[in-house]
Amino acid sequence: MAGFAAAIGAGIVCGMTQIPVPGVILVFSSVFLITGAGNAINDFFDADIDAINKPARPIPSGRVSRNTALYLSFLLFGIGIALSCFINTICFVIALVNSILLIIYARNLKQTALAGNICIGYLTGSTFLFGGALFETAGLYRTSGLFALAMLATIAREIAKDIEDIEGDLAMGAVTLPIRVGQKRAGNIASFAGIIAVILSPMPYFTGFSVWYLVVILFADLCFLIAILQLIKGDAAHSSRSFKRAMAVALLAFVVGTMSGTPMVL
């Protein structure tokens, strides 16, 4: 989904019918590889905790060794960053910074209160920025609203996932937000982030998206509100899945809104 989001970010800037195919292929491939590297390095550092929370993951289940995951992550990071060099300087900087953040997150931030959630929120939102950066600074401006919306929605979902995984995190000595401030307060923080995302969701319409964006984003907002309600009721597992569905619908809204909206770069 990250590579697709980056491609959508590029399409938002130039219009979905005027996408420069070679550039978008590079954008998609770079994001796809770096995301894969992030998943592999995350599995490497999370092998012990996944044995409790998610025993079916590749390393705990024995399908992949820890060293294989580590070497694969380095290979994918290298290729992904190298591909970004062929796009432009802004894309290279974003790719390099995000790769470093993915490693820091997996090694240090994932088990810290709130900082890890914010990091993942930024990384998710920045996929739109990366796609927009295909068109340099004008593209960054065009995709800034999507970046903010995706970041807030992801922060909310990540906190919900931490609440869901609290048993395994406690066993491993992690200091996630629910462990630090309690599940109820953590849920309130996640709900606040989700509400802000809903409030900001009309923003892209005022940067050239069509009215169809508003129509589809209403369904995404409904999913967000359902997720928030589930979180308030203490159902973190279903809330996390509802946040994921809401983000998928929001991505569809971006596509629909772009197809008949006003491109910034021709």
Task: Provide the pLDDT for residue 131.
Answer: 92
Task: Provide the pLDDT for residue 155.
Answer: 94
Task: Provide the pLDDT for residue 53.
Answer: 67
Beta-carbon-side half-sphere exposure of residue 71 (alpha carbons within 13 Å): 5
Beta-carbon-side half-sphere exposure of residue 32 (alpha carbons within 13 Å): 10
Residue with token string 């800037």: 13
Task: Provide the pLDDT for residue 266.
Answer: 46
φ and ψ at residue 89, rounded to 5 degrees: -65, -40
Going from N- to C-terminal start, the domains of the chain cover 2-259
User: Which pLDDT tens digit goes with each residue over 26-38?
Assistant: 999 999 999 999 9
- Asked whether 98 and 76 are in contact (CB, 8 A), the reply is no
- Asked whether 255 and 8 are in contact (CB, 8 A), the reply is yes
CATH 1.10.357.140 is right for the domain spanning 2-259: yes
- In which residue ranges of the chain is pLDDT below 70? 15-17, 50-51, 53, 62, 260-266
Of residues 121, 123, 150, the one with CA closest to residue 249: 150
Task: Provide the pLDDT for residue 62.
Answer: 67
Task: Provide the pLDDT for residue 263.
Answer: 55
φ and ψ at residue 208, rounded to 5 degrees: 115, 0
Task: Provide the pLDDT for residue 260.
Answer: 62
Residue type at 78 in one-letter notation: G
Of residues 215, 160, 220, the one with CA closest to residue 193: 160
